[in-house]
Amino acid sequence: MFTGIIEEIGKVKEVVNREGSQRLRIECQKVLSDVQIGDSIAVNGICLTVTTFTSGEMEADVMPETLRNTSLSEAKPGKKVNLERALPVNGRLGGHIVTGHIDGTGKIIRKYREGNALWLIIDTQSEIMKYIVHKGSIAIDGTSLTVAKTEEQSFAVSLIPHTAEMTILADKETGSTVNLECDVLGKYIEKLMQPQEKKHSPITMETLKKYGF
């Protein structure tokens, strides 16, 4: 579990492709200060498991399913990534509940400044847009942000200077792909509101008559 508050910007040092899967080696320091093998670290919002580490680098494996549905398929040496450690039990929930399980990707279709704010307009699929609500929460490349505007196929977020400085989002160009994770609460509510499939009982009138009832 994560909060969407980015702790560090890391740098991809090596990408090893293996039959549709991938191994990443990432240069970083802060997120490794108390790391253990098997710990979860969100890389651009994607929950990955630390397989090996040193004082200045970590490695993680990426499954084919993750490559198909996230921007990690575009990873290459020198590329910067947002990093966040899993939330400790006694930590502050400064952003919102982020699982690290990406719903899909979006594309930045416009980027502009307004005063001290940096606006990003992001286009995405309708199956993702249905979970994105005005003034709701969204994780973009693992960064917890508030949805400022919504359209049929796109939405907008506004970055304060601190967020622009502490994450890779300000460096993204128009046309860049970003990972999106919608608010998990909305997905659970949708599931619970769906009509449940009726289960057919094996007991029928014919069965009751057969056994003398």
Residue finishing a domain among 41, 57, 85: 85
Residues 59, 126 share a domain = no
What are the b/e assignments for 111-138, b being 16+ CB within 10 Å?
beeeeeebebbbebeeebbebbeeebbb
Contact residues for 158 (Cβ-Cβ < 8 A; gap 6+): 114, 117, 118, 119, 120, 146, 148
CA dihedral sign, ordered 95, 97, 102, 107: negative
Residues 182, 109 share a domain = yes
Task: Say yes or no to pLDDT of 199 above 60.
Answer: no
Question: Does the residue 1 lie in any domain?
Answer: no
Nearest to residue 60, comparing CAs of 16, 6, 125?
Answer: 16
Question: Does the residue 172 lie in any domain?
Answer: yes
Question: Does the residue 197 lie in any domain?
Answer: no
Question: Does the residue 198 lie in any domain?
Answer: no
Question: Does the residue 202 lie in any domain?
Answer: no
Domain that holds residue 178: 104-186
* Domain of residue 135, CATH code: 2.40.30.20
> Reduced to 3 states, what is the DSSP secondary structure of residue 167?
coil
Question: Does the residue 58 lie in any domain?
Answer: yes
Residues 138, 111 share a domain = yes
The number of folded domains in the chain is 2
pLDDT in tens, 3-15: 999 999 999 999 9
pLDDT in tens, 111-162: 999 999 999 999 999 999 999 999 999 999 999 999 999 999 999 999 999 9
Question: Does the residue 26 lie in any domain?
Answer: yes
The C-alpha atoms of residue 182 and residue 164 are separated, in whole angstroms, by 20
